[in-house]
Amino acid sequence: MIVEKNKIDVGSKPSVEDIMPLIKTLNKQYGLWTDKDYKKIESELIEAAKLGHKSVLEVFTKYYSEYVEFARYGDR
């Protein structure tokens, strides 16, 4: 099965507070879809949020990089 990555623009969500609702929703959906422990991953994401936007994206990418690619506006 070939999976095409979703490209998500995070340029319009510059702060951790802006991006966390999106990341939590994606984590739950991809976690359920891939049978990963999304609750454990959410805990990691919350901890990463204390370090900033980039850390949150790095944790998410660690688990779901084969399905999602983050971009900034104009990087398409």
Say if 41 falls within a structural domain.
Answer: yes
Please list the residues that pair with 68 across neighbouring strands: 6
Domain of residue 38: give its range.
6-71
Say if 62 falls within a structural domain.
Answer: yes
pLDDT band of residue 12 (cuts 50, 70, 90) is confident
Say if 17 falls within a structural domain.
Answer: yes
**Position 59 pLDDT exceeds 50:** yes
What's the total number of domains in the chain?
A: 1
Task: Please state, in angstroms and as integers, the Cα–Cα distance from residue 45 to each residue in 1, 2, 62, 73, 75, following that order.
Answer: 29, 27, 11, 23, 24
Looking at residue 13, its pLDDT comes to: 78
Say if 37 falls within a structural domain.
Answer: yes
Say if 1 falls within a structural domain.
Answer: no
Say if 44 falls within a structural domain.
Answer: yes
Average pLDDT over residues 19-48: 96
- 43, amino acid identity: S
CA distance 50 to 28: 20
Looking at residue 72, its pLDDT comes to: 72
Q: Residue 37 is encoded by which pair of tokens?
A: 């422990």
Say if 31 falls within a structural domain.
Answer: yes
**Position 22 pLDDT exceeds 80:** yes
pLDDT band of residue 1 (cuts 50, 70, 90) is low
